[in-house]
């Protein structure tokens, strides 16, 4: 009986430490889980293990999501055809209708 008590206490502490060490849970969610595990130990531990929220991906720890596919349009804003603009690279004026800077070659359109 003593051994079962020690195993239960270790299991309870393990679950409690697991909740407290999670950085992906909101503080209110974490506090709620801690209170459930402390106030209703047997039910709280079992309920947490059944309903444990999946950890959210930490920045840099998982494969980044694939970017969304590009639309068929090369450039959605067609204002470059109507009025001159300024090159953001060298501050030279790009004439109306031009798609690249005449001085440095910078372009705001998709390459290729």
* Chain segment 17-76, per-residue pLDDT in tens: 988 988 888 889 889 999 999 999 888 888 888 887 677 666 555 555 555 555 545 555
What's the CA gap between 32 and 48, in Å, rounded?
Answer: 11
Do 9 and 47 lie in one domain? The reply is: yes
Flag whether 62 is in a domain. Answer: no
The reply to whether 106 falls in a domain is: yes
Q: What is the model's pTM?
A: 0.47
Which residues lie closer than 8 Å to 37 by C-beta, 6 or more apart?
Answer: 12, 15, 16, 19, 44, 45, 48
Is residue 47 located within the same domain as residue 83? no
Task: Provide the pLDDT for residue 69.
Answer: 53
Which of the four pLDDT bands, split at 50, 70 and 90, describes residue 112? very low
């Amino acid at each position: 009986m003593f051994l079962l008590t020690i195993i239960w206490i270790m299991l309870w502490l393990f679950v409690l430490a697991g909740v407290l060490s999670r950085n992906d849970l909101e503080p209110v969610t974490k506090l709620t889980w801690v209170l459930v595990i402390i106030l209703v130990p047997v039910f709280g531990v079992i309920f947490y293990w059944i309903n444990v929220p999946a950890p959210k991906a930490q920045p840099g720890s998982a494969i980044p999501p694939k970017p969304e596919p590009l639309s068929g349009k090369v450039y959605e804003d067609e204002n470059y055809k109507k009025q001159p603009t300024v090159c953001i690279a060298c501050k030279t004026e790009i004439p109306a209708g031009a798609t690249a800077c005449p001085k440095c070659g910078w372009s705001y359109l998709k390459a290729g």
